A and B are shown apart, each in its own frame.
Chain A
Amino acid sequence: MNTIGLHAVGLLGPGLDDFETARAILAGTAPLAGDAINIPPVRLLPANERRRTTTTIRLALKVAEEATTDSDRSQLRSVFASSSGDMDIIDRICDALTQPEPVVSPVQFHNSVHNAPAGNWSIATRNPAPATAVSGYNATVAAGLLEAATLQQCEGGEVLLTCYDVPSMETFIRVRPIHHAFAVALRLGPVEGATWRLQMDLKGPATADRCVADELEALRESNPAARALPLLEQLARGTAGHVTLDAPLGRSLSIRIEP
Chain B
Amino acid sequence: MDPLVITAHTLTSAAGTGIAANAEALRSGTSGLRACDLERVNLDTYVGRVPGVEAIALEGALAPFLCRNNQLAELGLRQDGFAEAVAAAVERHGADRVAVLLGTSTSGIAATEAAYHRRDPQTGALPPDYDYQHTQNMFSLADFVATRLGLSGPAMVVSTACSSSAKVFADARRYIAAGLCDAAVVGGVDSLCGMTLYGFDALQLVAAQPCTPLDRDRAGISIGEAAGFFLLERPSANAHGARLTGYGESSDAHHMSAPHPEGLGAATALQQALDRAGRQGDEIDYVLMHATATPANDRSEAHALIHRLGPTPRAVGSKGLTGHTLGAAGAVGVAQALASLAGGFVPATAGLGHPDPELGLDARAETEERPVRRVLVNAFGFGGNNCSLLLEAPQ
Q: Which of A93, A95, A111, A130 contacts B256 (CB 8 A)?
A: A111
Question: Among residues 85 to 115 in chain A, which have CB atoms less than 8 Å away from a CB atom of chain B?
Answer: 85, 90, 93-98, 101-106, 109-115
> Do residues B138 and A146 form an inter-chain contact, with CB atoms below 8 A?
no
B62 to chain A, nearest CB (A): 15
Bound together, the chains give a CA A249 to CA B156 distance in angstroms of: 9
Q: A115-B385, A146-B180 are in contact. Are A248 and B194 (CB under 8 A)?
A: no
Q: Which of B111-119, B281-289, B343-351 contacts A (4 or more CB under 8 A)?
A: B111-119
> Do residues A113 and B159 form an inter-chain contact, with CB atoms below 8 A?
yes
For residue A250, CB closer than 8 A to chain B, the reply is: yes
A116 to chain B, nearest CB (A): 6
Bound together, the chains give a CA A102 to CA B116 distance in angstroms of: 13
Q: Which of A8-16, A134-142, A236-244 contacts B (4 or more CB under 8 A)?
A: A134-142
Q: A104-B199, A113-B159, A175-B126 are in contact. Are A130 and B251 (CB under 8 A)?
A: yes
1/0 per residue, CB under 8 A from A, across B345-381: the answer is: 0000000000000000000000000000000000001
What residues of A have a CB within 8 angstroms of the CB of B250 in the complex? 128-130
Q: Which of B116, B156, B178 contacts A97 (CB 8 A)?
A: B116
For residue A192, CB closer than 8 A to chain B, the reply is: no
Q: Which of B125, B199, B251 contacts A119 (CB 8 A)?
A: B251
A12 to chain B, nearest CB (A): 22
> Do residues A135 and B385 form an inter-chain contact, with CB atoms below 8 A?
no
What residues of B have a CB within 8 angstroms of the CB of A32 in the complex? none
Instruction: Number of A interface residues at 8 Å Cβ cutoff, please give it.
Output: 69
What residues of A have a CB within 8 angstroms of the CB of B275 in the complex? none
> Do residues A136 and B156 form an inter-chain contact, with CB atoms below 8 A?
yes
> Do residues B146 and A110 form an inter-chain contact, with CB atoms below 8 A?
no
What residues of A have a CB within 8 angstroms of the CB of B23 in the complex? none
Q: A136-B156, A143-B155 are in contact. Are A90 and B109 (CB under 8 A)?
A: yes
> Do residues A132 and B384 form an inter-chain contact, with CB atoms below 8 A?
no
What residues of A have a CB within 8 angstroms of the CB of B381 in the complex? 113, 115
Q: Which of A35-43, A150-158, A215-223 contacts B (4 or more CB under 8 A)?
A: A150-158
> Do residues A122 and B199 form an inter-chain contact, with CB atoms below 8 A?
no
> Do residues A94 and B171 form an inter-chain contact, with CB atoms below 8 A?
no
What residues of B have a CB within 8 angstroms of the CB of A133 in the complex? 158-160
What residues of A have a CB within 8 angstroms of the CB of B151 in the complex? 249
Q: Which of B105, B167, B173, B251 contacts A128 (CB 8 A)?
A: B251
> Do residues B382 and A102 form an inter-chain contact, with CB atoms below 8 A?
no
What residues of A have a CB within 8 angstroms of the CB of B173 in the complex? 154
> Do residues B383 and A109 form an inter-chain contact, with CB atoms below 8 A?
no
Q: A128-B251, A132-B158, A248-B139 are in contact. Are A97 and B198 (CB under 8 A)?
A: yes
Per CB-CB distance, the 9 closest pairs between chain A and chain B, nearest first, are A119-B383, A109-B199, A114-B159, A135-B138, A130-B249, A122-B251, A137-B139, A110-B257, A143-B156
New contact pairs (19) apart from A90-B112, A109-B198, A114-B138, CB-CB < 8 Å: A97-B113, A102-B198, A104-B195, A109-B199, A113-B382, A115-B161, A125-B253, A128-B252, A130-B250, A132-B160, A136-B142, A136-B156, A146-B154, A150-B175, A151-B174, A154-B177, A171-B125, A249-B146, A249-B152
Q: Which residues of A contact B (CB under 8 A)?
A: 1-2, 52, 82-85, 90, 93-98, 101-106, 109-116, 118-120, 122-123, 125-137, 140, 143, 146-147, 149-151, 153-155, 170-172, 174-176, 202, 204, 247-251
Q: Can you identify 17 A-B contacts, CB atoms within 8 angstroms? A: A85-B159, A90-B136, A103-B198, A109-B202, A114-B159, A118-B385, A120-B256, A125-B253, A130-B251, A133-B159, A143-B156, A146-B154, A151-B174, A153-B178, A170-B124, A171-B116, A249-B153
